[in-house]
Amino acid sequence: MSTPVDDELWSAIGDPTRRTLIDLLLASGPSTATSLSAGLPLTRQAVSKHLAVLDRVGLVHAEPAGRERRYHVDEAQLARAAAQLASVGATWDARLRRIKRIAEAIERSRNNTEGE
Amino acid sequence: MSTPVDDELWSAIGDPTRRTLIDLLLASGPSTATSLSAGLPLTRQAVSKHLAVLDRVGLVHAEPAGRERRYHVDEAQLARAAAQLASVGATWDARLRRIKRIAEAIERSRNNTEGE
DNA sequence: ATTAATCCGCAACTAATAGTTGCACGTAAG
DNA sequence: CTTACGTGCAACTATTAGTTGCGGATTAAT
């Protein structure tokens, strides 16, 4: 009955900071935790933890390059996440429409009864 | 540059428990914290706190009825939330498409240079 | 009307998680 | 070799989800 949603994925993208990180990675391409933290009111370690969360659900991947760890977005996974967002929104919309339809039906039957 | 999203609204619907509460309210119509908690592995107070959060961002409203407080979904606000979900998903999709387009352009120019 | 049963909000406590600082290790460059 | 940079790991703090335990208010029962 409830929308079929991957809760781990949701809580990953539910965090505003992590959405910002995804945005930054999409805008700037593969980046390190250090360079990402430079433009944010966060320490490198905080960014690193968020990237670890995103990595764990597969939204980003780390590529070791020398002494750096360069993170990049997994496009397929992000597309999947976007699809889930759309799906939840669509489910709610459908429910709202159904409720509205039922409410209108009740309204109609009430008017009929009044008319008798 | 970042997607224009109401962070409070997002963190409200980012929580799995709160999404479940919204689903239940949509399915069962206006309900009290007590009746909602009956079908969940949560105490009434926990449900009450979540409802307070949802109330604060305007996704639900409480209607005092005798000794009860009956909560119902604000349909307009939920529709707005659904739209934001869709919007973020669409933004990511657009970015992914743009990246893919650029990648292909680079690929093409590389092939051209090779051909010289 | 008095008593009992609900439904609720408020406050104190606990558990989990975001964020911080500090340190030690590996890699790159002088 | 030494200096500097990027990283991970561990300990600490702060905020938040969840619990329990009250006391107040409304409905129902005797």
Domain ranges, ordered by start, for chain A: 7-114
pLDDT band for A14, please (50, 70, 90 cuts).
confident
Q: Does A49 touch chain B (CB under 8 A)?
A: no
Question: For residue A75, which residues of chain B lie inside 8 Å, CB to CB?
Answer: 96, 99-100
The whole-angstrom separation of Cα B5 and Cα B81 is 10
pLDDT in tens for each of the 116 residues of chain B? Answer: 445 577 788 888 888 899 999 999 999 999 999 999 999 999 999 999 999 999 999 999 999 999 999 999 999 999 999 998 899 999 999 999 998 898 899 889 988 877 55
Interface test with A, best of B5, B13, B19 (most A CBs within 10 A): B19
Q: Is residue A75 within 8 Å of residue B96, measured between CB atoms? A: yes
Return the sign of the alpha-carbon dihedral for residues B58, A11, B40, A103. positive
The spacing between the Cα labelled CA in A29 and the C1' in D11, in angstroms, equals 34
The 3-state secondary structure of B22-60, one letter per residue = HHHHHHHCCECHHHHHHCCCCCHHHHHHHHHHHHHCCCE
Average pLDDT for A59-68: 94
The whole-number pLDDT of residue A1 equals 47
In CATH, the number for domain A7-114 is: 1.10.10.10
DSSP state of A67: T
